[in-house]
Amino acid sequence: MKVVCVIGVGLIGGSFSKDIQAHYPEVKRIGIDTNDHYLAEALKLGVIDEIGHLEDVALADLVFIAIPVDATLKILPQVLDLVADHTVVIDAGSTKASLCEAVQNHPKRRHYLSAHPIAGTEFSGPSAAIAGLFKGKTQIICEVEQTAFKLQEKALEVFHALGMRIRYMNAAAHDVHIAYVSHLSHISAFMLGKTVMEKEENERDIFDMAGSGFESTVRLAKSSPAMWAPIFKDNKTAVVAALSEYIDNLQRFKSLVEANDFEGVYAQMDQTNRIKDILNGLTHQNK
Amino acid sequence: MKVVCVIGVGLIGGSFSKDIQAHYPEVKRIGIDTNDHYLAEALKLGVIDEIGHLEDVALADLVFIAIPVDATLKILPQVLDLVADHTVVIDAGSTKASLCEAVQNHPKRRHYLSAHPIAGTEFSGPSAAIAGLFKGKTQIICEVEQTAFKLQEKALEVFHALGMRIRYMNAAAHDVHIAYVSHLSHISAFMLGKTVMEKEENERDIFDMAGSGFESTVRLAKSSPAMWAPIFKDNKTAVVAALSEYIDNLQRFKSLVEANDFEGVYAQMDQTNRIKDILNGLTHQNK
């Protein structure tokens, strides 16, 4: 590889670009973004080697798109229009079905590899980029059979260099599952933060009483609305279904408390304690 | 001080006992618990110096009660019946109003200091005890004026030795506020875990897709049901109120998504992002 274009030089794109430099020091990394402030910051921090424009993707061996999903939906067909024969275009969006659908009849569909790296933090922008962010993390690849075999190989070589575990999924199944393990967690945290902040408006001392448990549960409420609103829009059906099941569970728990059925309350928590083993599995996997 | 009795040798009682040894090495620490396995483990781990019985509180300069709140409600009057003139009895329960009420007419009410250390982890038992757990953490003291002045002084000296920040509150206000910043976070995490696990029953691979965001949001679902069911029972009114407001906020968020009002969705998250500054404050405070 000689040239990699990173569209979106924030947390995910910036981290990818840092890893590209570490594993492919000969590669020139061109950053493309609608946010000039981010571009200047990324250049200053060494997250990219130079600032470019959309047309520069024609020079790239690999294009990595890490911008909000609604923006990806618009730009992906334009990128495919521009790229050369040997170029693979990878995105990192948190939803996959609408992207795959948007380019299913594009003449250069086989240049696109639809991916979702399960990695990130609650921070955003080039300063949030972390070298090694993807090491040991899962890369979910959707509709892999739609990507040209040689370009699959090129992408996989990069993912392996970054230390990622690869999982293949159907795009629709990805979107339903991710609504539960990712999108719902974010809504849960945002609304918990909102509920407590509303109470706090009249009760100034309330946060003085908050410990690490609250901090951990509400952490994702720091996440970027510019990234998350388009995700909820794009994955509306699955998000509404997951949220409905969550609200039903909360309602049932509330009904048990109201009915003084504390054996029932105990049983619900006791059953859910099994999450310990599952999370231990996750921790091992993420190491 | 010569003798400290710790009733409940789990995470909180065990951590307190470890700190007592560190700051008052001359003190004999007697552990009292209904769980013989815990007592043996605590002794083996050096969390306590010897195993005792309830009657031994008559020998103590300080009694620290760290057991589920329903058990504390039963044992606190018995402990007060037994203690000597110079003894202070401190509890660590997550609810305070019913405890204060239970002993308000007890002839030895002035021996009791009603406290809630905002410290802990999602783990339990003597092996979860951590030296220094209370350092930099908030100790909420309720109805301090009901405690004899000399015994207040004795307790405060210990809390200062452990490095705690002291806050004084009305017991009823404590219970309402803590429902938001602690009890609600636990219910939110337990029900998130339950919702995702229910989905997973049919979809084996779902946790393969979970990242650190899910792990953080669901962490408290590992907590002990034996500790939490009595808290929800004791603080029923405030817990139901907080949970109702949380459910209302989730419902409103869901309605915005269903109505395709993604500017509204964005605005809700954007407003809640202010939690960053609040959590930064917490982090500084907890350091």
A197–B254: do the CB atoms touch at under 8 Å? Answer: no
Give the one of B119, B193, B269 whose C-beta lies nearest to A272's C-beta: B193
Question: Residue B199's pLDDT is what?
Answer: 87
CB A27 within 8 A of CB A6: no
B275–A218: do the CB atoms touch at under 8 Å? Answer: yes
d(CA A146, CA A139): 17
User: How large is the average pLDDT for residues B45-68?
Assistant: 98
Tell me whether residue A2 is exposed, middle or buried, using C-beta atoms within 10 angstroms of its C-beta: 0 to 12, 13 to 18, 19 or more.
exposed
A229–B266: do the CB atoms touch at under 8 Å? Answer: yes
Q: At residue B279, does pLDDT exceed 90?
A: no
Cα–Cα distance list, A175 to A142, A184, A228, A234, A239 (Å): 10, 12, 14, 9, 9
pLDDT category of residue A286 using cuts at 50, 70 and 90: very low
Cα–Cα distance list, A112 to A71, A145, B10 (Å): 16, 11, 55
A54 shares a domain with A138 = yes
B216–A214: do the CB atoms touch at under 8 Å? Answer: no
d(CA A200, CA A207): 8
CB under 8 Å to B29, separation ≥6 — which residues? B4, B6, B17, B20, B21, B48, B49, B50
Give pLDDT tens digits for A57-95. 999 999 999 999 999 999 999 999 999 999 999 999 999
Q: Which of the listed residues A170, A188, A223 is the one where a domain comes to its end?
A: A170
Q: Which of the listed residues A170, A187, A217 is the one where a domain comes to its end?
A: A170
pLDDT category of residue B202 using cuts at 50, 70 and 90: low
Q: At residue A254, does pLDDT exceed 80?
A: yes
Give pLDDT tens digits for B212-263. 889 999 999 999 999 999 999 999 999 999 999 999 999 999 999 999 999 9
> What 3-state DSSP class applies to A4?
strand
ipTM, 2 dp: 0.91
B232 shares a domain with B270 = yes
A146 shares a domain with A10 = yes
Choose, out of B218, B220, B245, the residue to mutate when testing the contact with A (most A CBs < 10 Å).
B218
User: How large is the average pLDDT for residues A251-272?
Assistant: 97
Q: At residue B198, does pLDDT exceed 50?
A: yes
B207 shares a domain with B129 = no
Q: What CATH number is given to the structural domain containing A178?
A: 1.10.3660.10
Question: Residue B134's pLDDT is what?
Answer: 97
Domain count, chain A: 2
Choose, out of A220, A248, A278, A280, the residue to mutate when testing the contact with B (most B CBs < 10 Å).
A278
Higher pLDDT, B50 or B287: B50
Contact list in A for residue B169 (CB cut-off 8 A) is 205
Segment 219-238 of chain B within 8 Å of chain A by CB? 219-223, 225-226, 228-230, 232-233, 236
Question: Residue B275's pLDDT is what?
Answer: 87
CB-defined contacts A:B, below 8 A:
305
Q: At residue A202, does pLDDT exceed 90?
A: no
A200 shares a domain with A162 = no
Give pLDDT tens digits for B105-128. 999 999 999 999 999 988 999 999
Give the one of A222, A257, A270 whose C-beta lies nearest to B232's C-beta: A257
A138–B209: do the CB atoms touch at under 8 Å? Answer: yes
B186 shares a domain with B67 = no
B95 shares a domain with B55 = yes
Q: At residue A11, does pLDDT exceed 80?
A: yes
CB under 8 Å to B271, separation ≥6 — which residues? A194
Query: Does A201 lie at the interface with B, CB-CB under 8 angstroms?
Result: no
What is the chain B residue with the closest CA to A216? B216
The structure tokens 């269903």 sit at B258
Segment 88-107 of chain B within 8 Å of chain A by CB? none
Query: Does A280 lie at the interface with B, CB-CB under 8 angstroms?
Result: no
Segment among A135-144, B133-142, B161-170, B273-282 with least mean pLDDT: B273-282
Q: Which domain holds residue A235?
A: 174-286
Beta-ladder partners of A214: none
Give pLDDT tens digits for A119-159. 998 899 999 999 999 999 999 999 999 999 999 999 999 99
B143 shares a domain with B110 = yes
Query: Does A187 lie at the interface with B, CB-CB under 8 angstroms?
Result: yes
Query: Does A5 lie at the interface with B, CB-CB under 8 angstroms?
Result: no
Q: At residue B284, does pLDDT exceed 70?
A: no
Q: Which of the listed residues B135, B169, B203 is the one where a domain comes to its end?
A: B169
Q: At residue B200, does pLDDT exceed 90?
A: no
User: How large is the average pLDDT for residues B135-140?
Assistant: 95
| Structure tokens given for B105 | 């007419």
User: How large is the average pLDDT for residues A212-222?
Assistant: 91
Q: What CATH number is given to the structural domain containing A117?
A: 3.40.50.720
B239 shares a domain with B147 = no
A130 shares a domain with A84 = yes
The pLDDT > 90 percentage for chain B reads: 88
B257–A240: do the CB atoms touch at under 8 Å? Answer: yes
> What 3-state DSSP class applies to A275?
helix
Question: Residue B287's pLDDT is what?
Answer: 38
Three-class SS of chain B? CCEEEEECCCHHHHHHHHHHHHHCCCCEEEEECCCHHHHHHHHHCCCCCEECCHHHHHHCCEEEECCCHHHHHHHHHHHHHHCCCCCEEEECCCCCHHHHHHCCCCCCHHHEEEEEECCCCCCCCHHHCCCCCCCCCEEEEECHHHCCHHHHHHHHHHHHHCCCEEEEECHHHHHHHHHHHHHHHHHHHHHHHHHHHHHHCCCCCHHHHCCHHHHHHHHHHHCCHHHHHHHHHHCHHHHHHHHHHHHHHHHHHHHHHHCCCHHHHHHHHHHHCCHHHHHHHHHHHHC
Contact list in B for residue A185 (CB cut-off 8 A) is 192, 213-214, 217-218
A205 shares a domain with A165 = no
pLDDT category of residue A267 using cuts at 50, 70 and 90: very high
Query: Does B53 lie at the interface with A, CB-CB under 8 angstroms?
Result: no
Cα–Cα distance list, B254 to A137, A191, A253, B194, B212 (Å): 30, 11, 19, 19, 24
Question: How close B67 comes to chain A (CA, Å)?
Answer: 16
A205 shares a domain with A144 = no
